[in-house]
Structure 1
Amino acid sequence: MKVAELIVGALAEHGVRQVWGVVGDALNSLTDAIRADGRIEWIGVRHEEAAAFAVSAQAQLSGTVGVCMGTVGPGSIHLLNGLYDAKKSHAPVLAICGQVPSGEIGTDFFQEVDNDILFADVSVFAHTLMSPSQLPHLLEQAVNAAYALRGVAVLTLPGDVGELDLPRHTPLPSFAPRSVPAAAPEDQLSAAVQALDTGDVTLLVGHGALGAREQVLALADILGAPMVLTLKAKEGLERDNPFQVGQSGLIGNPAAAKAMDSCDVLVVLGSDFPYRDWYPSGKTVIQLDARGEHIGRRTPVSHALVGDATATLCALVPRLTRREERSHLERATKAFREWHERQQSLLNPDHDDTLVGKVRAVFDNPSEGIRPEAVAAAVDRIAPDSTIFTADTGMSTAWLARYVAMRGTRRLVGSFNLGSMADALPMALGAQALDRDRTVVSFSGDGGLMMLLGDLRTAVSYRLPVKIIVFDNGRLGMVKLEQEQGGLPEFGTELDNPDLSAVATAMGLTSRRVTEPDRLDEAVDWAFATAGPVLLDVVTNPDEVAVPPKPTLAQGWGFAIAKSRESLESRPG
């Protein structure tokens, strides 16, 4: 058995079903082993960044290590952005990177880069396999580290080493079992029970508590506590949840902000929500997280619970006394319902014909374009309850957060920690490859889609029936909004897009362009009823304003000043 054959065979035995990348000479031994083995599907993308994003999504959705490959030098460098997404999403990913022939390492050979140094920051493990005698333990260390430390392992393989024969009786790799989650210790539990004895409580729940849905709901019920969800917690905790009041932060809503500001005790469950300005001050804060390094790094913590969310809450909830006073919860949920109803009014096709709508449209929809809120809401109505959604960073995420409900078994992935552009399409491809029969929807911004446009063809080549919804506003929308809220006129954000529907059609997808609001619902229906990969290019209003949950006077003045500057500068001389 050759080195490459052992690596491929061990990954196949472990349950890896796809490897993503771009072929190259340093990978020839590995790709040939994949061909000969037959259990792993090779998915050749048009850009290695797409491969890394795809397997990051797969790892987050499946829990099994995602595997991507890049050949020597530039091929591996192209993986970096997607690998940083996996790092910040705590996704177990194995990147196998090609290297120059072992005898040339250190000679500044053509395309040579030092992968061990290059990937040091992004990885929990980064080593070069120089000899067959380093197997199986080096492969075992890489995969074990990816799982145990929830991150990226990088195994570099010189082109000639993959072809070498293994010593006889080389054992097959044996990967370590997953660790058993444990509850926080007794002294921490006792302190938390005492702190929860009085005062109004609000929960801030993150992705780390998704596996503890039943226990989180029980905690909210016994404490009469409204539940603010991070975006990553939306997929598991939004549905059938009478306590949730939506998201905090810039994509959130006033009810969530008020629920946090008005509480006496804030309980942070499995969340590393990064925005310090959105945490309330002067509160008793209890934080539960399996990763001790997360405790207190966003806001001062009064009581720490270091342990698994499910195990800890199973031990904590039975010790608490049920609150009969529910006014804090009732105020928060009432405010959330009222905000939600106001947001829904924008979806009425006749909204801009009302008095309020006409006044607003003068400023934010003078061309009477399709409102992006309506696009998101139409997709929400029509997409199956089993849909997997991905979203580009920026306004696409804002519209999804506000108008798409994670009901049923819907899932959600995106670059929510790294915040990269261009993640939605490749993540959708990765999700679709896990199950070609499940509906997968990409909420793509026009800017993000254009970055990795070539990988539209990957959907066609590998029969991945993704539904790509493009919010085509001809803008880098979030940057435009940031500029205007800061009092700056829009600059550098306009995109001179081609007809994206025509481009997609030329690349083999079924596509349609929508420019009229009254054609939107029919077009979304058509997209979901059409077999194979579909791109729906929706030309949306570029001036839409997503009002933040806690708008400041400075933001308001900044926006007004910016719009006046834009108006003045746009007048003909």
Structure 2
Amino acid sequence: MAKNVSEQLLDILIHLGVKQVYGVTGDALNFFVKAIENSEDIEWIGMKHEGNASFAAFGDSQTSGKLGVCAGTVGPGALHLINGLYNAKKERTPVIAITGQVPQRQEGTNFFQEVDLKKVFDDICDYQAIIKTPEQAPMVIQRAIKIALANNAVCRIELPANVAEMTAENQEFIHPIKKYTSSLVPSEEVVAEAASILNKSKKIGILAGDGCRESRTAVLGLSKKLKAPITHTLRASDIFDHDTENVVGLTGLIGNPSGYNAVMQCDVLLMLGTDFPYIEFLPHKTKTIQVDIRQENIGNRTAVDLGIWSDISSFLKILLPKIETKKDADFLNKLRDNFQKWKANMAQQASASRDNEPLHPQIFADQINRYAANDAIFTVETGTSAIWAAHHISFHSQRRVIGSFNHGSMAVGFPAAIGAQFSNPGKEVWCLSGDGAFNMAMQDFITAVKYKLPIKVLIFNNSELGFVKLEMEKAGLSPSLKALEEVNMNFADYAKLCGGDGIRVEHAGDIEKAIIQAKNSKKPFIIDAVVSSGALSLPPHIGFKEVFGFGTSKIKEAVQIVSGDKSQWENLKKELESYFN
């Protein structure tokens, strides 16, 4: 029996090694979903919301290294995919979005659910395969997949309802698709210039990003020869973890002082594989060398004295023999000492002896760090949960951490964990989420139960949007407590209602056993961690702007308190209690 276009599309995905398609079906996708039902090689993962489906495809691809696939039907169903796809785009993750479209004879007539998806997805996709005929289908489908893999990008395949069931054509055009790799090698002259600058300099700082993922050993070797401290980006936390020699931590709003100072106090800054976006945390008068495989990144955030277009491995292979081993390690040693002191302070903040209630969120992150497997995968929400993870979890050994580190979207953590668990069935997957973010994605906890995914979810339940509050105070505003408030259910009870398991933790003595219980659970498990909304995390450097902003905010809060605003008084009390305990 001849195959239809939907079956042909599915065959191409199967031969590529795709195992799951995440989505919500609908009329235009029905032939495609039926094809999946008849296959033993791929599974349709029915999500409760398409937005969660696209985040799941991102999590799958990020942790497997393979193509992620999500799907939504015509109009509204396709539109729901957008936020997760933007996240995949910004995290440079290869994802294919399969969307339906109204029957071609109805296009352009303002038909029911009709949306001009080409216009909508133009800013997201590197390529859109809009199938107009069965003859064209195999060529544009394969082109979309090849571009997604080659560019680590998002591409879309549009399947009109009438084309989906048509007999497939041009089977002879279908061929094996691979993700090809090659090296981008810089010239000897430009590397020699970099070596000359580095050899003549005394205090060198390395700012390393995700582009160093395949070059960790070489970067560490360079650091040792140069006696250069390594500051890393959040995405690179699982490359240059807290326990690695010469690593001094993060910079940026959620960074630490030694990471910040390594970048800001060096004589030469060497940026390797990063487009670190926060220009206020970069020096702008320091001699800077930037190496990146994407030429457009060079000089994008700060003035660069020497730009080198190369992958990091090829650059370091040529550079390392040209580097003279330095003897003076004062700059490095001072920063390493400061980093050790900072880590000791973090350990003190996370001590279970700090048992005032509501609990300190740091304690939960520290206990997860203690008990999570060495190859655990962590999905981290945007917000204060990212702070506690970055400060209190060392992503050592084979651990991975993913999130919305460039797009900055809420509600990435739990659905990304679904995708990560599907693509890594034998590994522990931990999701660290704020209550606000989990409330956005919680409907798909039922999906995790349905597919028996043993995801461990820690919800920092402080009944407010904590990071937004921090941003308000930084801007000099008194917090808008009503807008920030989250009215929550008992999340542990919700987990059990859905068929999973969970525990609500309100006392410090119960934290450790809750973490162990979650680790050993064979069901999706929620730890409902009732924590203080007053827990503070200050940036690694407080400038006049920040002092003025926070100071102005506190003055405004004080005025409101004097005027009888009880909610602001309770907010200030929580902050004081959390800080002094």
TM range (shorter): over 0.9
2:501 maps to 510
Which residue, 268, 288, 291 being the options, matches 1:265? 268
The Cα shift of 1:197 comes to 1.8
- CA–CA distance in 2 between the matches of 1:556 and 1:286? 35
2:362 maps to 373
- CA–CA distance in 2 between the matches of 1:536 and 1:255? 33
Post-superposition Cα deviations, 1:4-59, rounded to whole Å, max 9, x if no partner, equal 11110111011101100001110011111111122111101000011111111221
Which residue, 223, 241, 244 being the options, matches 2:244? 241
Q: Name the amino acid aligned to 2:529.
A: V
- CA–CA distance in 1 between the matches of 2:556 and 2:449? 43
Alignment of 1:402 with 2:394, yes or no, is: no
Which residue, 428, 435, 458 being the options, matches 1:446? 435
Give the 3-state SS of the residue equivalent to 2:135 in structure 1.
helix
- CA–CA distance in 1 between the matches of 2:489 and 2:12? 45
Give the 3-state SS of the residue equivalent to 1:69 in structure 2.
strand
1:197–1:169 Cα change, 3 Å: closer
Which residue, 425, 435, 438 being the options, matches 1:436? 425
Contact kept? 1:484, 1:562, Cα under 8 Å: no
Alignment of 1:133 with 2:135, yes or no, is: yes
1:212 maps to 215
- CA–CA distance in 2 between the matches of 1:565 and 1:375? 35
The Cα shift of 1:565 comes to 4.2
Contact kept? 1:183, 1:309, Cα under 8 Å: no
Structure 2 counterparts to residues 381-396 of structure 1, below 5 A: 381-396=370-385
Alignment of 1:284 with 2:287, yes or no, is: yes
2:491 maps to 500
The Cα shift of 1:566 comes to 5.5
2:535 maps to 544
- CA–CA distance in 2 between the matches of 1:310 and 1:58? 26
The Cα shift of 1:559 comes to 4.8
Q: Name the amino acid aligned to 1:6.
A: Q
Which residue, 440, 460, 471 being the options, matches 1:471? 460
Q: Name the amino acid aligned to 2:528.
A: D
The Cα shift of 1:239 comes to 6.0
The Cα shift of 1:558 comes to 3.3
Post-superposition Cα deviations, 1:519-548, rounded to whole Å, max 9, x if no partner, equal 211211211122211011000001110011
1:76 maps to 78
Aligned sequence identity (%): 35
1:536–1:169 Cα change, 3 Å: closer
Alignment of 1:531 with 2:534, yes or no, is: no
2:573 maps to none
- CA–CA distance in 2 between the matches of 1:486 and 1:292? 34
Give the 3-state SS of the residue equivalent to 2:173 in structure 1.
coil
1:458 maps to 447
Contact kept? 1:467, 1:533, Cα under 8 Å: yes
- CA–CA distance in 2 between the matches of 1:399 and 1:489? 24
- CA–CA distance in 1 between the matches of 2:461 and 2:48? 23
Contact kept? 1:248, 1:256, Cα under 8 Å: yes
Q: Name the amino acid aligned to 1:132.
A: P
Alignment of 1:321 with 2:312, yes or no, is: no
1:73–1:322 Cα change, 3 Å: same
Which residue, 222, 227, 230 being the options, matches 1:227? 230
Post-superposition Cα deviations, 1:444-493, rounded to whole Å, max 9, x if no partner, equal 11000001110111100111110000000001000111222333222110
Contact kept? 1:116, 1:127, Cα under 8 Å: no
2:33 maps to 31
Contact kept? 1:369, 1:517, Cα under 8 Å: no
Q: Name the amino acid aligned to 1:456.
A: F
Post-superposition Cα deviations, 1:249-301, rounded to whole Å, max 9, x if no partner, equal 01111111111121000000001110000001311101111000111111111
Which residue, 553, 570, 573 being the options, matches 2:565? 570
The Cα shift of 1:555 comes to 4.2
Q: How many equivalent residue pairs? A: 559
**Range with greater deviation from structure 2 (435-444 or 178-187):** 178-187
- CA–CA distance in 2 between the matches of 1:127 and 1:348? 54
The Cα shift of 1:175 comes to 2.4
The Cα shift of 1:168 comes to 6.3
Q: Name the amino acid aligned to 2:498.
A: M
**Range with greater deviation from structure 2 (91-100 or 509-518):** 509-518
Q: Name the amino acid aligned to 2:442.
A: L
Q: TM-score, normalised by structure 1?
A: 0.95
Q: Name the amino acid aligned to 1:243.
A: N
Query: Any stretches of 5+ residues in structure 1 without a counterpart?
Result: 353-366
Contact kept? 1:490, 1:566, Cα under 8 Å: no
Give the 3-state SS of the residue equivalent to 1:513 in structure 2.
strand
Query: Any stretches of 5+ residues in structure 2 without a counterpart?
Result: 570-581
1:560 maps to 554
1:227–1:483 Cα change, 3 Å: same
1:567–1:383 Cα change, 3 Å: farther
- CA–CA distance in 1 between the matches of 2:281 and 2:210? 18
- CA–CA distance in 2 between the matches of 1:516 and 1:243? 37
Q: Name the amino acid aligned to 1:273.
A: F
